Chain A
Amino acid sequence: MKEFMMIFIGADYTDLGLSPEELQGRMGKWFAWGDKMEKAGVLRGGNALTPDIRRIVGENRTVTDLTSAEVKELVGGYYLVAAKDFDAVQEIAQDFPDYDLGGTVEIREIMVFDK
């Protein structure tokens, strides 16, 4: 079994003007997805990220503070899952709830160096 990271990229809910009802519906789907992965025993962990960003760029170490509204492609969080290969993770990612909001799932394999 290998470990993969599913990185979630998309816009901030608050900027999309979702109603509380829509928000709750979304959360319900996220919970259900988490439960499904847990039940399948593939979930290894995960974290959500707050929308505040501080960027340090370049030789001059230029610092910029950004809010979610200024960034279209915001990394919102990640899940770590155990799976055979990319195809298996792709299957898991089918249940990602936010494709219809233009959301993206990026799958990356965790590097293991002691082979």
Chain B
Amino acid sequence: MEPKIIDHLFRHHSGKMISVLTRIFGLAHLEIIEDAVQDTFIKASISWRQQQPDHPEAWLTKAAKNRVLDIFRKLNTEKKHAPTIYQGTDTIAINELFLDTEIEDAQLRMIFTACHPKLDPKDRISFALKTVSGFSIKEISSALLTKEETIKKRLFRARKTIQQADLKFHIPQGKELSERLESVMEVLYLIFNEGFHSNKKEKLIREDLCGEAMRLCQMLLKNEHTRIPSSYALFALMCFHSARLDTKTSSENEVLDLKSQDRSQWHFPLIKLGNAMMNKAVADETTFSCYHYEAAIAAEHIRAARFEDTNWDKIVYWYQCLYTLQPMPSHLLTMAVICLQKEEAAKAKNYLDQITSDDFAQRAYLYYATLADYFNLINNKQEAIYYLDLALNTVTNILEKEYLEKKKLTLITGKS
């Protein structure tokens, strides 16, 4: 077996084992549980060197069961509260928790815990990647482009919040469910975006993050309580984006925009799956979520055989819907950019008038650059150059800076 397969087996199994053991011992003992699971993998990697078991999954599950005894021992030695064992038959009940369906249930509980609104939004992602997805601190730090120390602090803080708030290890029900599910989907969306939108990262890390977000989203779709139109829409969105993940960078790891991507290389099975999920998302729903509209936009891009065939009117329409639901300045800017592309200056102006540079903080250069494009379109070169200079003053990324400088030169010399 290749090392990579073992890697993922361990990673996925880690989340399963931590979740099941937490169900037995409670969130109060999370640290002991994580250590115990970690220890199992160390033991496995040593004993598997000689010979790999025929059924690695079963081997690991058995090892996790043995950990149950170790954790009991440890809790007793440390005089911490352990569940009471009345009879040998109690192990039948514990055994039951290691069945596949029960493992899925435990994992879903862990996802809800990791995405609990009481946790700091930043801590949620790190904690989910660690506890549910089995990423190491080092892997999380490189995936999020954050220092290992910071990740450690976030994990520590998350654990502390869980203890202090005495969070229950359960799947919320009734009214609470929809609100908590919102928060779960948001975290999965963010994990996916970390993978999809960051161009600085290794391709492998990007694929890992996107794959992980999709795996977790699939878990939501497997459970009847968390299988709702917006979770289907979120999964559809992930499918559409993932379908073109491979074409986002050239062989030299250069970033390619939608215009330059090789559309024949888009992954068809994922597009098909995305369409199927989208159908489920809209099956019996009259109100749509942000994920519905974002998926609709992604689908519109996918639908165009060539960049020139893109149905921009449709895309602006979906953005308009999205903006109604989620009034973010970035959506207005995007709509302005699309209008400029179609040389609809008046429409673009209408969107640009609704936003200011303050709306974009460090990314104000995007706003200035768009304004420059607008003035260029209406043949006001002076204003265009003025805004390009503002953009150049605020941009930090070197690639973006070069791009803007090239643009300015074209404007001044009149050559393209």
Q: A residues engaging B (CB < 8 A)?
A: 8, 10, 12-14, 20-21, 23-24, 26-31, 34-35, 46-51, 68, 74, 76-79, 97-98, 103
Q: Which residues of B contact A31 (CB under 8 A)?
A: 65-66, 68-69, 91, 94-95
B72 with A20: CB separation less than 8 A: yes
Is B89 within 8 A of A8, CB to CB? yes
The contact of A47 among B65, B73, B88, B93, by CB within 8 Å, is B93
Known: A20-B76, A31-B66, A35-B62. A13 touches B88 (CB 8 A): yes
Complex alpha-carbon distance, A31 and B85, angstroms: 14
Contact of B87 among A20, A29, A47, A74 (CB under 8 A): A74
Q: Assess whether A48 is in contact with B87, with CB atoms less than 8 Å apart.
A: yes
Determine chain B's interface SS by DSSP, over half rule: helix
| Residue B86, interface by CB 8 Å | yes
With A20-B72, A24-B69, A35-B62 given, is the CB distance from A98 to B88 under 8 Å?
A: yes
- Rounded to whole angstroms, the CA-CA distance of A29 and B69 in the bound complex is 11
A79 — nearest CB in chain B belongs to which residue? B92
Least Cβ distance of A98 to chain B in Å?
A: 5
Q: Give Cα distance in the complex from A76 to B85, angstroms.
A: 11
Q: Which of B69, B73, B84, B90 has the most CB of A within 10 A?
A: B90
**A-B Cβ contacts below 8 A, count:** 83
Q: Is the CB of B85 within 8 A of A23?
A: yes
Contacts of A50 in B (CB 8 A): 86
Residue of B nearest to A45 (CB): B96
Q: Which residues of B contact A34 (CB under 8 A)?
A: 91-92, 95
Given contacts A10-B87, A23-B85, contact A48 B69 (CB under 8 A): no
A14 touches B91 (CB 8 A): no
Nearest 6 CB-CB pairs, A to B? A77-B89, A76-B89, A30-B91, A76-B87, A48-B93, A20-B76
A31–B68 Cα distance when bound, in Å, is 10
Interface digits, B82-117 against A, CB 8 Å rule (1 contact, 0 not)?
A: 001111111111111000000000000000000000
Whether the Cβ atoms of B88 and A30 lie closer than 8 Å is yes
**Chain B residues within 8 Å of A76, by CB:** 86-90
Question: Whole-angstrom distance from the CB of A37 to the nearest CB of chain B?
Answer: 10
Quick check: B65 and A13 within 8 Å, CB to CB? Answer: no
Please give the distance in Å from A53's CB to the nearest CB on chain B: 12
Distance between Cα atoms of A103 and B87 in the complex (Å): 11
List which B61-79 residues lie within 8 A (CB) of chain A: 62, 65-66, 68-69, 72-73, 76
User: B86 to A51, Cβ gap below 8 A?
Assistant: yes
The answer to whether B89 and A48 touch across the interface, beta carbons within 8 angstroms, is yes
> In the complex, A74→B73 CA distance in Å?
26
Complex alpha-carbon distance, A10 and B86, angstroms: 11
Which of B66, B73, B85, B92 lies in contact with A77, CB distance below 8 A?
B92
How many angstroms from the CA of A47 to the CA of B99 in the assembled complex? 13
A24 lies within 8 A of B73 (CB): yes
Question: Contact between A46 and B96 (Cβ–Cβ < 8 Å)?
Answer: yes
Cβ–Cβ contact B92 & A27, under 8 A: no
Q: Which residues of A contact B90 (CB under 8 A)?
A: 27, 48, 76-77
Nearest opposing residue in chain A for B86, CB measure: A51
List A contacts of B76 (CB < 8 A): 20
Tell me the complex Cα distance, A13–B85, Å.
8
Q: Are A14 and B72 in contact (CB under 8 A)?
A: no
Chain B residues whose CB sits within 8 angstroms of the CB of A51 once the complex forms: 86-87
A48 to B94, CA, bound (A): 9
Q: A8-B87, A13-B87, A51-B87 are in contact. List 19 more A-B contacts (CB 8 A).
A: A8-B88, A14-B86, A20-B73, A20-B76, A21-B73, A24-B73, A27-B85, A27-B91, A28-B66, A31-B65, A31-B91, A31-B95, A34-B95, A47-B96, A48-B90, A48-B93, A74-B87, A76-B89, A97-B88
B17 to chain A, nearest CB (A): 15
Q: How far is the CA of A12 from the CA of B88 in the complex (A)?
A: 9
- Closest-by-CB residue of B relative to A18 is B85
What 0/1 pattern do residues 42 to 77 of B give for CB contact below 8 A with A?
A: 000000000000000000001001101100110010
Task: Looking at the assembled complex, report how far the CB atom of A55 sits from the nearest CB atom of chain B, in whole angstroms.
Answer: 18
Q: Please, could you name 6 A-B residue pairs with CB atoms under 8 Å apart, sorted by A?
A: A8-B88, A28-B69, A31-B94, A35-B65, A68-B86, A76-B90
Cβ of B87 and Cβ of A77 under 8 Å apart? yes
Q: Are B92's CB and A46's CB within 8 A?
A: yes
Residue from A8, A27, A68, A76 with most neighbouring chain B CB atoms (10 Å): A27
B92/A47 in contact, CB under 8 A: yes
Taking the closest CB of chain A, its distance from the CB of B380, in whole angstroms, is: 77
Complex CA gap A111/B107 in Å reads 37
CB nearest to A101 among chain B residues: B88
**A46 to B94 CA separation, bound complex (whole angstroms):** 11
Residues in A with CB closer than 8 Å to B95 are 31, 34, 46
